[in-house]
Structure 1
């Protein structure tokens, strides 16, 4: 396992592992990425440790890790961890088998992980209704009836109900004979509709990323590909500050002028 800061931290909501996850990378980078992907969370992925187990030198490994940042598979940064006594900032190395763009990493840093936009062939509500027949054969519904009841099930989901809760409400305590499954299910969906649940308070995440070259922390939006503007050769933005603020380069001169204008203590008049 790793020393603090060099342990692997898997990013959430990754796609299932396949044989071509890193096919877009160079052969060496793909091999190293596949090795890191197979490690458990907390495993040491520092350059020195990887050099002991992989047939590559530290310079080659450092170059590969930088390329993995450019491709969106890796980011380094800091995260605030709460203990019983204090809040401690610890260094993290985040790894994602699924390549992520800069916008995704910025959202992850804020604690707001964007979900993959997928278009299922059928809605969540339709799939639940279609599966009713497996849980209770007397409630088997044809496709047309599933489409008809779909909005009612969707309302349950909007109120925070889970699949298990809906299935339980529809299948528990069934009568011996059900002459019209669609009418029976529709009536139960209406009569047992739960109240709207209060949304949980969003957890505040304290997390930053750092430049892969100079290790300076900064906003994710200012570090595309994991590299800051200064390391990309972009001049740093000079902020003007509040009205009347002294420029950074003029602070020393201003303080010297202020000191020169002070009256020595021995010459001050005592009142």
Structure 2
């Protein structure tokens, strides 16, 4: 049975929608009963109990690679073997998936639940992974780049119909080898102070600033291995990354040792002596002459 604070935090996290922000600061804003330190301690306890794991995964390719932080949540407490198997399946899925360009901005830690049930999945949570990928790949990169413009600058907010109308023009840019970051920068650079028609401005820029088509480069050999999509578990306490098997209970070795000992390690006796000597020296200096 979890303590009251951990049950309170677990109940809130369990009802968050997929993809919700899961940083300690964000949770502390939404849970007024506890501060950031208490939330951090509760998340560590939930990690040790087998309810969550934090991971870092690389997205993109080459110079476009960035790290995305995610939190996997399980309503049912799972042991380390189950989590290692699930995360290995997740890493293998990302290796087989096509490389997609990263978003223009860093992605905050997000909750991605494996949707466990009382019956052990085999392989773990494969249905949830497939559903998540289907939702992500349903929209083209060109459409997503246009849809995100309003998130970056409210003056460029486009409706769903606007994005669908402009999607073919934006796709021409991506077909010529530019990235979504390049496309976004070209559409948002040097904007006027007031924009009366965002769709008209974006259409004009998509047509007028269309980049030239570069000659095709040498094709990649068919036997070139697919890029490895790395996935590292992050220590729930200190944030140190590592492979899943190296972080039992979601904690690195020093944090796991500290937690098993029931608290912080005792300070070095030599440090205590040095501090006492320093304080005595300060008191001597403050005495009146």
Report which of the two structures shows the higher radius of gyration computed on alpha carbons.
1
TM-score range, shorter chain: 0.3 to 0.5
TM-score (normalised: structure 2) = 0.39
Higher relative contact order (CA 8 A, sep 6+): 2
Q: Which has the higher helix share?
A: 2
TM-score (normalised: structure 1) = 0.41
